[in-house]
Amino acid sequence: MAILNRILFINLAEEAIDHITNDAEANHTKLQPSRKTSWILGEKKLKKSPPPTATTQKLGAS
């Protein structure tokens, strides 16, 4: 039963994200970039960020 609840929750979350994205695109609203994390059955998996570029290093130094 717990697995079924997780699957249903993930499905509802995906539908909500799709709805928000479609609504934002229809209103020409720019969404914030993703946090580079994904949740899979309650487990958080971090994605590796690309190495900093010269531009981002300059911005961080300012």
pLDDT digits (tens, 9 = 90+) for 22-52: 888 888 777 666 555 555 545 555 455 556 6
More confident site: 6 or 32: 6
pLDDT score of 7 more than 70: yes
Average pLDDT, the chain: 71
3-state SS assignment for residue 43 = strand
CA 35 to chain centre: 5
Quickly state the pLDDT bin for 62 (edges 50, 70, 90): very low
